[in-house]
Amino acid sequence: MSKTLQTSHLSLNMIDEALVESFVNYLIVECGLSENTIKGYKGDLRNFSNYLQGEGIKRFQDLRAKMIVNFIEKEKQRGLSENSISRSLVTIKMLYKYMIMEGKISVNPMSSVNTLKLQKHLPEVLHYKAVEEILQAPDCNDKLGMRDKAILELMYATGARVSEVASIKVIWINFDYGYIRCQGKGSKQRIVPMGAEASKSIRRYLQEVRPFLVKIEADEPLLFLSRTGKKLRRENIWSIVKKYAIKAGIRSNISPHTLRHSFATHLLEGGADLRSVQEMLGHSNISTTQIYTHIDRKYLKSIHQKFHPRA
């Protein structure tokens, strides 16, 4: 599998095309969005880019908040539905949140823009057995396979985002107490239990693999390294997850975020409280975590329908 994600063919006239490609890559790798969703986002950004160029704007960074009001009015004049306009605004807001996160802008011009409440799509969740098959897929007789096993075990054990996994430092692991420190969005740090299996896989990786991968040790060395001794990129980890999902015979659109969704859902199905799951996921607002309760109810409903004689 190619380690370069296909985000090209955006538009010859797209402003800030390199930025948009980077953003789309983020949506694929970090957010785990489907191909159809990505296609819709690209169309929204092309349309918004055309509008900005008509206003004489050559960079997304130069957007002024009042332009959004004009953009919405023009979209209404084109006969677009409120749902379509709202989806465009969601795409644009995500782009500007990404630009804040990457340090491209310091003030978000979209922060005061309200969007219509769209129906939430439930994230894909793997069954326990499917997760287990992915975790067993790496060949632990191979050094990189042993590293990949540690990455997969850690992702499912902690629900860490792919960017967080790539940035974990060796000193952030505490084997004695069985937890790991994650640094999430906005450099916020949290402590997450990592479980016995993940701990065992990481310990073995540190002892038997990492010494062979490291070339020049940093003051605060990263946990996971590429075969050349460099930091793993988000795309690398995306490819690792995809590789072992295919090896395990799972053909659906699996991404690192699928493991994060599965981690949260399986905790709730096992009886964990929502606030604890929120803390482990690093959500600042519990309303973000509450989408997992909908998955849990759906799961319970399916069990009831299957086994209750009066269902």
Helix axes 234-247, 143-158, angle to 10 degrees: 100
The token pair at 243 is 């590789």
- What are the strands, taking DSSP E only, across 169-230? 173-174, 179-183, 189-193
Residue 297 has pLDDT above 50, yes or no: yes
Which residues on neighbouring strands pair with residue 181, listed in sequence order?
Answer: 191
Distance CA 14, CA 45 (A): 8
Q: What pLDDT is attached to residue 304?
A: 63
Of 285 and 110, the one with more pLDDT: 110
pLDDT digit string, tens, across residues 219-238: 889 999 999 999 999 899 99
Boundaries of every domain in the chain: 17-101, 128-304
Give residue 247's identity as a one-letter amino acid code. Answer: K
Q: What percent of the chain has pLDDT over 70?
A: 87
pLDDT digit string, tens, across residues 56-110: 888 999 888 778 888 888 888 888 877 788 888 888 988 998 999 889 998 888 8
Residue 3 has pLDDT above 50, yes or no: no
What do you get for the CA distance between the two ends of the chain, in Å?
45
- Tell me which DSSP letter residue 123 carries: P
Domain spanning 17-101 has what CATH number? 1.10.150
Residue 6 has pLDDT above 70, yes or no: no
Residue 11 has pLDDT above 50, yes or no: no
Question: Class of 128-304 per CATH?
Answer: mainly alpha
Collapse the DSSP code of 192 into the 3-class scheme (helix H, G, I; strand E, B; otherwise coil) and give the result.
strand
Residue 5 has pLDDT above 60, yes or no: no
- Tell me which DSSP letter residue 119 carries: P
Contacts of 78 (CB under 8 A, 6+ apart): none
Confidence band of 119 (pLDDT split at 50, 70, 90):
very low
Q: What pLDDT is attached to residue 72?
A: 85
Residue 29 has pLDDT above 70, yes or no: yes
Burial class (CB in 10 A: 0-12, 13-18, 19+), 210: buried
Distance CA 272, CA 116 (A): 32
Residue 251 has pLDDT above 70, yes or no: yes
Residue 120 has pLDDT above 70, yes or no: no
Whether the CB-CB separation of 152 and 241 falls below 8 Å is answered with yes
| Residues 157-161, mean pLDDT to the nearest whole number | 93
Collapse the DSSP code of 169 into the 3-class scheme (helix H, G, I; strand E, B; otherwise coil) and give the result.
strand
Nearest partner of 281 among 257, 300, 307, judged by Cα: 257
Range from 62-66, 121-125, 198-202, 232-236 carrying the lowest mean pLDDT: 121-125
Q: What pLDDT is attached to residue 118?
A: 44
Residue 20 has pLDDT above 50, yes or no: yes
Sign of the C-alpha dihedral computed for residues 204, 205, 206 and 209 taken in this order: positive
Sign of the C-alpha dihedral computed for residues 75, 76, 77 and 80 taken in this order: positive
Which residues on neighbouring strands pair with residue 189, listed in sequence order?
Answer: 183
Average pLDDT, the chain: 85
| Residues 105-118, mean pLDDT to the nearest whole number | 72
DSSP β-ladder status, 189-193 and 179-183: antiparallel
Distance CA 14, CA 105 (A): 19
Q: What pLDDT is attached to residue 252?
A: 80
Distance CA 126, CA 261 (A): 8
* CA-based radius of gyration for the chain: 21
Catalytic (active-site) positions? 161, 185, 257, 260, 283, 292
Q: What pLDDT is attached to residue 162?
A: 92
